[in-house]
Amino acid sequence: MFAPLAAAEFSRVLIPGGLLIRVTPTARHLWGLKSAVYEKPYENDETRPPMPGFAYKKTERVEYKLTLSDKSDIRALFDMTPYSHKTSREDTEKLDALENLSTEAGFEISYYRRR
């Protein structure tokens, strides 16, 4: 997740007929977290890029609500996201002031077969 797509490398290492499973965030993944930290949060792009050398099979969505009531858990969730590397100190302080957090977690699991 949150990693650049390396279709050519996946094609190189998978045998024909091999299965590639790609997990990406849904549009509102961690929306509660983003809304608590950023003045203008944005939705994630759900566009499925082309996968040369692969046949698309299907996509499954997994979505659930996550509630955290411990500051260290809230911070740990934030620290495992790319947001932790590009968020201002001012916005990070908003996060550190939270006593609890409810947020959405959403993933698309897409399956591709190597041609």
Q: Quick one: which of 42, 44, 45, 2 has its CA closest to 22?
A: 2
Cα angle 73-79-80, degrees, rounded to a multiple of 5 = 95
Q: In terms of DSSP H, where are the helices of 6-107?
A: 7-13, 31-37, 71-79, 89-96
- Whole-angstrom distance, CA of residue 41 vs CA of residue 72: 22
Non-local CB neighbours of 88 within 8 Å, separated by 6+ positions: none
Which residue did the predictor score with more confidence, 51 or 4?
Answer: 51
* Section 8-28 average pLDDT: 96
Is 20 domain-assigned?
Answer: yes
Is 2 domain-assigned?
Answer: no
pLDDT of residue 74: 98
Which residue did the predictor score with more confidence, 7 or 59?
Answer: 59
pLDDT at 17 over 80: yes
Tell me the pLDDT tens digit for each residue of 87-115.
999 999 999 999 999 999 999 999 999 99
pTM score: 0.88
pLDDT of residue 57: 97
pLDDT of residue 29: 98
Q: What CATH number corresponds to the domain at position 89?
A: 3.40.50.150
- Whole-angstrom distance, CA of residue 81 vs CA of residue 6: 20
- Whole-angstrom distance, CA of residue 101 vs CA of residue 85: 20
Q: Quick one: which of 114, 73, 115, 63 has its CA closest to 95?
A: 73
Is 53 domain-assigned?
Answer: yes
Domains contained in the chain, number: 1
For residue 87, what are the domain limits? 7-114
Is 18 domain-assigned?
Answer: yes
